[in-house]
């Protein structure tokens, strides 16, 4: 289990167009992790909603807005992930990619001051605990889609939905 999940005091599931999303929050209400649906993954609601966490209806509205165009900011506090300074830079850069736009792993690496570190960017994307908030689906390989924790079909679906609105 990741440190974020161990620090979580509250978690809940929400339906979305791509399946059930799982949100885990810290005691101060900050979002720590957002999990996409995956075969065989079991997530459940747990704990009591902490003060400072967005209301269930606010998360529902965010999901609806996000999937209507991909640009809605998360409605509550969230903790920028990243175990290393480089990963934090990567996640900050990826968080800034607007809906309907993409960058390659190499472009993200260059924007983070580390040209040639495209594999390290790929590693950061593979470990991203907050897809959609830190939209790793907007980062592509130079020769195509690259990978995605939710599967390439979901990555293509997310990008197609954003490009239709952009």
Which residues participate in catalysis according to the annotation?
136
- Distance, CA of 34 to CA of 18 (rounded, Å): 13
Cα first-last separation, the chain: 36
Residue 61 has which token pair? 């509205």
Distances (CA, A) of 155 to 35, 103, 119: 14, 14, 19
For residues 44-83, b (16+ Cβ closer than 10 Å) or e, as one string? eeeeeeeeebbeeeebeebbeebbeebebebbbebbebbe
Residue from 162, 166, 126, 138 nearest 17 by CA = 162
């Amino acid at each position: 289990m990741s440190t974020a999940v161990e620090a979580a005091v509250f978690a809940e599931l929400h339906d979305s167009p791509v399946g059930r999303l799982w949100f885990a929050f810290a005691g101060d209400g900050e979002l720590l992790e957002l999990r996409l649906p995956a075969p065989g993954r079991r997530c459940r609601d747990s704990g009591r909603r902490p003060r400072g966490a967005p209301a269930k209806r606010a998360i529902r509205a965010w999901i609806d807005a996000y999937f209507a165009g991909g640009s809605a900011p998360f409605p509550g506090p969230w903790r920028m992930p990243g175990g290393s300074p480089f990963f934090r830079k990567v996640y900050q850069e990826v968080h800034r990619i607007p809906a309907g736009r993409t960058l390659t792993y190499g472009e993200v690496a260059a924007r983070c001051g580390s040209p040639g570190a495209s594999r390290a960017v790929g590693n950061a994307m593979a470990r991203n605990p907050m897809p959609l908030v830190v939209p790793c689906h907007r980062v592509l390989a130079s020769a195509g889609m690259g990978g995605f924790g939710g599967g390439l079909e979901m990555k293509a679906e997310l990008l197609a939905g954003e490009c239709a609105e952009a």
